[in-house]
């Protein structure tokens, strides 16, 4: 079964695009190096100051191990001054997925 790592950032005013750019680059780079990451989506709400990443992994272990990867730590260091509260992260079972 695939698993989803969902990572939510509450962005400080005036830094939405900065966080979007950093998150998009991180997601692109991580997809290129992690064979367990099947897909990744970055979504956001500029009015609410929320940027959320949704990564689909082929195993629960792979989804959980992202936290211990150096590229993730580097990303967290880069966004720390741009967010208002610590990030929220959960790992969920992927129950169903549809796409065209």
Q: The domain spanning residue 86 has which CATH number?
A: 3.30.70.100
User: Sorting pLDDT into bands at 50, 70 and 90, what band is 100?
Assistant: confident
Q: How many domains does the chain have?
A: 1
Instruction: Please give the average per-residue pLDDT across 8-13, as a whole number.
Output: 98
Does any domain span residue 98? no
- Length of the chain measured in residues: 100
CA distances to 25, 41 from 53, in Å = 12, 6
Residue 38 lies in a domain: yes
Amino acid 51: pLDDT: 99
Q: What is the mean pLDDT of the chain?
A: 95
pLDDT computed for residue 88 by the predictor:
96
- Tokens representing 65 are 């191990």
The pLDDT confidence band at residue 99, using thresholds 50, 70 and 90, is confident
Render pLDDT for 25-43 as a digit per residue (tens, 0 to 9). Answer: 999 999 999 999 999 999 9
Q: Alpha-carbon distance 60 to 63, whole Å? A: 5
* DSSP helix/strand/coil, 42: strand
What residue numbers bound the domain in which 87 lies? 3-93
């Amino acid at each position: 079964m695939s698993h989803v790592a969902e990572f939510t950032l509450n962005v400080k005013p005036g830094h939405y695009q900065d966080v979007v750019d950093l998150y998009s680059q991180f997601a692109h780079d991580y997809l290129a190096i992690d064979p367990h990451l099947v897909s990744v989506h970055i979504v956001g709400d500029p009015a609410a100051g929320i940027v959320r990443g949704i990564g689909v992994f082929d195993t629960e272990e792979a989804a959980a191990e992202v936290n211990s990867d150096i590229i993730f730590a580097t990303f967290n260091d880069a966004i720390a001054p741009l967010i208002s509260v610590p990030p929220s992260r959960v790992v969920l079972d992927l129950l169903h997925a549809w796409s065209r």
